[in-house]
Amino acid sequence: MITDFIDSVVIIDDKEKEIEELAKKLQEEDISVKIQIVNPQDKQFKDIIPLKKYRQLIFMDLSLDDSINIKNNISTEIRPILLKILPKTNGCYGLVVWSKHTDDISILKDKLLEDKDKYCLPMFIVPFDKSNYLKNGYGNILDDLNDILQKDKAAYFFVNWMSSVKSASGKAISDIYSLVTDYDKQQTELIYILYKMALSHTGIPKDQVEGYDLTTDAYKAFDELLYSDLINQQNKNSVNVFSPIPQNPWKNNLQEELFNYAKLNAKHFIDSVNIKQDIIVPGNIYEIIENKSDFKIQNQPKESRVIGIELTPPCDFSHKKINSKLIGGFIYDLSNSDNDKIWKFMNAAFKGDNKYLFWPIEIDTKPCVLCFDFRYTFIFPDENLKNDSKYKIIFRAKSRLFADILQKYSSYSARLGISNIIPELSDPLKNNKE
């Protein structure tokens, strides 16, 4: 239900009496309401008070100034007001506009796209006829909004996801606090629990904690704890957003598909937060600056970057080791690569049990291939990796990616496997035959 998503709304209108009942209805649902009355004659909008944080819903009249047409209204009234009132930070919200005409919405969407770099665009835009609600009351407006959003499956998915995050985060915190019921002990015992969670997550030995931002890893550990509660909350959603089965919108645009999937995979599988040159943790990935030829694997593309991953098993790492284990590999830019080139790359030169390929993944804003060759294994003192003139840390493989690489390295025939999102490539040899 949409009410699980909405905590607060802002109503922007030039006629206060017309939205008083709406505000009352929303408040009855325990929704915080901010009313912003606009004077259409004031083109500087001096009375507009900027929001400090995003509200989940904005109600707005498309015809604030009846003396001009809708297109000019949107350009001279709506867009400037949104620019002034919306926070400069990121946020998610929906926009409900009072309008009788679908053409007005098309104009609004086109015009808002011109502002995409100035403020966050709404997740959804829903048109309602204000005259109907003025006549019949606002009692069903949230039900009407919910019904419309169920037809916009993408919007409905994210609304439900955000609702489940809010609910699950509350439960996760409550569960942790319930471990310590004595208020006098909460300060010390809860902090120690978080400390142990952080150590377990990062795998860093206790004697290396000094000077390391362990708090960031505590947040990461708590994020994983949140995940189990999220699943339970999301199972309550009965709406199948994938019926009918969606078709690939990038079937004829491989590069756009690559860029989109690369961004998603980077979010899922690589970590660039709390990465330090002098802190060695399994999963760290380094660009090889010195002795590149030693790490350069067979058939490695000329334009690629030589890299290595610290692949010491966490159980060994936690016991005061003094040597690092680095597996050689490369990063290769897939920008401007066509279907045939990628196909040959994946299925010829770098296919084999000794290889680990992960693609596409965004590195330095480009879709890339991440490749390791388990035959190129190097062991040397930890201090070598702390020298950025020899081995420069660039990011870290997240736990699922690291576990998969380690499993493949340990046993070529029994890897865990992960499902990274990749484009649907066609066999160029098959295409030629056809």
Q: What is the block-wise mean pLDDT of the chain (434 residues), using blocks of 10 residues?
A: 85 90 94 90 82 92 77 86 89 89 83 89 92 91 90 87 86 87 87 87 76 85 82 68 82 92 93 88 93 88 93 69 86 92 79 88 95 91 90 94 91 56 71 56
CATH 3.40.50.2300 fits 2-151, yes or no: yes
**Which pLDDT value is given to residue 323?**
84
Portions of the chain given CATH number 3.40.50.2300: 2-151
**Which pLDDT value is given to residue 236?**
63
3-state secondary structure the chain: CHHHCCCEEEEEECCHHHHHHHHHHHHHCCCEEEEEECCCCCCCCCCCCCCCCCCCEEEEECCCCCCCCHHHHHHHHHHHHHHHHCCCCCCCCEEEEECCCHHHHHHHHHHHHCCCCCCCCCCEEEEECHHHHHHHCCCCHHHHHHHHHHHCHHHHHHHHHHHHHHHHHHHHHHHHHCCCCCHHHHHHHHHHHHHHHHHHHHCCCHHHCCCCCHHHHHHHHHHHHHHHHHHHHHCCCCCCCCCCCCCCCCCCCHHHHHHHHHHHHHHHHEECCCCCCCCCCCCEEEEECCCHHHHCCCCCCCCCEEEEEECCCHHHHCCCCCEEEEEEEEEEECCCCCHHHHHHHHHHHCCCCCEEEEEEEEECCEEEEEEEEEEEEEEEEHHHHCCCCCEEEEEEECHHHHHHHHHHHHCCCCCCCCCCCCCCCCCHHHHHHC
**Which pLDDT value is given to residue 413?**
38
pTM for this prediction: 0.72
**Which pLDDT value is given to residue 373?**
93
**Which pLDDT value is given to residue 126?**
92
**Which pLDDT value is given to residue 372?**
94
**Which pLDDT value is given to residue 318?**
59
**Which pLDDT value is given to residue 10?**
95
